[in-house]
Amino acid sequence: MPETVSPLGLLLDVDGPIASPDTRTIATPSIITDLITLAGANVPIGFITGRSAQFISEQVVAPLVAAGLPREMRMYGVCEKGAVWFPITDSGMGEVVIDASVALPDPVVSRIRELVATDYADTMFFDETKLAMVSVEQRTDVDRAAYHAAQALFEDAAYTIMIDHGLGVRFGDRVSPDAEGAVPFRIDTTIISTDIESVDLDKDHAAKRALAFFAEGGPLPRLWRSVGDSRSDYLMADHLHAAGYEVAHVDVRPADGILERPYPVIVEGDLIHDEAGAAFLGYWVQKLGLG
């Protein structure tokens, strides 16, 4: 690994800024080439996502490897918002580690899987690739408005299932503690999915894990950018700011509401989702003199 300290570090959400929320793939070719260029310049790149390791392997790592990742780089994946993690090398994903302590009980997972199959299979599917959290996702052949209507009903039913199994759960403004008064799980709504997860999982937790990995490979840059399309993605920058780094967050879906933060929040003009992500990466390739 080069001894020089990189001028930049990146923590990237995947759905939205990197992968299209419509195709669920990296649909903009420049994203692949720019990530490879930045990695080759010793920019630490962390993919901080709620997606599964299998999804990242197939939709992110495989195309990067096929296009030619550099041998010397620092690239890392933290999936399921911190429950699953692995290094990424020029030959692919390294060992996948799972934090089983944050997983939902098997009977609840089975009941939610059954609920999707019997009542909601026409609009969504149960993500069988998740290893700790539960995710139920919009079918790509279903209109977004139709999915959102079904999603609201599904989430109400899932909330009831968790209460029936004695789990403490938070869902929006609703809170139902368990028998000991604890609320260890939450239901989190996104534009293309519903995540049911431990409250110990989130993007700040995942960012901390990625930084620890990068530090093992050499000095960390002082300047960082985090990129995401949901309000929870700001937590990546929150962690970096609290840790004393110079950081700005790039919001690729600002229409959902730009949050007030003690660090800069950047938008890419009128661009959103992966078009904004592509513009952001292209900017830094040029700014660092790599293009």
Dump pLDDT digits (tens) for 179-220: 999 999 999 998 899 999 999 999 999 999 999 999 999 999
pLDDT class for 5, splitting at 50, 70, 90?
Answer: confident
* Helix (H/G/I), strand (E/B), else coil: 38: helix
3 state SS of 232:
helix
Report yes or no: 137 and 195 within 8 Å, Cβ to Cβ: no
Helices (H) and strands (E) in the chain, counts: 8, 15
Task: Please give the pLDDT value at position 291.
Answer: 80
Domain stop point among 178, 198, 218: 198
Max Cα distance, the chain (Å): 58
Structural domain of 252: 9-99+202-288
Tally of domains in the chain: 2
C-alpha distances in angstroms, 64 versus 30, 61, 280?
11, 5, 18
Examine the fold and report which residue of 165, 180, 198 is the final residue of a domain before the chain moves on: 198
Same-domain pairing of 54 and 86:
yes
Looking at the DSSP bridge assignments, the partners of residue 251 are: 228
Q: Can you give the CATH number for the domain in which 75 is found? A: 3.40.50.1000
Residue 11 and residue 226 in contact, taking contact as beta carbons nearer than 8 Å: yes
Q: 179, exposed or middle or buried, with CB in 10 Å at 0-12, 13-18, 19+?
A: exposed
**pLDDT score at 3:** 55
Pair 93, 176 in one domain? no
155 and 281 housed in the same domain: no
What pLDDT, on a 0 to 100 scale, did the predictor assign at position 249? 98
Taking only the tens place, the pLDDT of each residue in 89-120 is: 999 999 999 999 999 999 999 999 999 999 99
Q: Which of 198, 222, 254 is the last residue of a domain?
A: 198
Regarding whether 70 and 57 lie in a shared domain, the answer is: yes
Beta bridge partners of 226: 11, 249
Q: Which has the closest alpha carbon to 184: 209, 172, 201?
A: 201
The predicted model scores a pTM of: 0.90
